[in-house]
């Protein structure tokens, strides 16, 4: 199995205050060149619901993130993976999240699922000392949470108090 390099940059600007970290782009996201492109992933419908901001294009998604001071990236910068499942990821190396934090006003980190959380804690937390909020994955593979329950949990994390 060959090593894959994360194929696209973070969505972030100097005003980003919240960083949402996935694990590594799915096959569909790698093909489309943007985050959460699988049609059954609930990330974008959930964000539309939380922020009452419909999005259909990549530009509208970026606008929603920027208007709400959210940066979006993945914990893993390179890895071996076959398919899209987090359980298939091996030989992971983290993205340079510390330098993203240093050039923004990020003060809250949310991980989208367990793999993202685990990679962040193992490789990145020692350099940032920002404890992430571990949230249930928006992946269609995570059928344990209904859309309504997932949206409620994510809304609370996004609008709750920030850790200093």
Catalytic residues: 41
First-last CA distance in the chain: 41
Instruction: Give the count of beta carbons closer than 10 Å to the beta carbon of residue 18.
Output: 22
Contacts of 26 (CB under 8 A, 6+ apart): 36, 37, 38, 41, 84
Task: State the Cα–Cα distance between residues 136 and 120, nearest whole angstrom.
Answer: 15
**CB contact at 8 A, 73 and 101:** no
- Strands 90-94 and 3-5, by their bridges, are unpaired
**3-class SS of residue 91:** strand
Instruction: Give the count of beta carbons closer than 10 Å to the beta carbon of residue 68.
Output: 16
């Amino acid at each position: 199995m060959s090593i894959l390099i994360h194929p696209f940059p973070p969505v972030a600007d100097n005003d980003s205050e919240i960083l949402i970290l996935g694990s590594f782009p799915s096959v569909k996201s790698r093909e489309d060149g943007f985050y959460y492109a699988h049609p059954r992933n609930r990330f974008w419908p959930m964000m539309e619901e939380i922020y009452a901001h419909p999005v259909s294009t990549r530009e509208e998604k970026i606008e929603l993130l920027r208007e709400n001071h959210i940066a979006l990236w993945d914990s893993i910068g390179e890895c071996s993976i076959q398919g899209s499942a987090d359980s298939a990821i091996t030989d992971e190396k983290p993205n340079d999240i510390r330098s993203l934090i240093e050039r923004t006003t990020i003060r809250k980190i949310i991980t989208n699922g367990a793999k993202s959380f685990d990679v962040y804690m193992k490789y990145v937390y020692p350099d940032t000392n920002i404890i992430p909020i571990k949230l249930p994955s928006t992946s269609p593979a995570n059928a344990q949470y209904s859309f309504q329950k997932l949206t409620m949990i994510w809304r609370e994390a996004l609008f709750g108090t920030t850790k200093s």
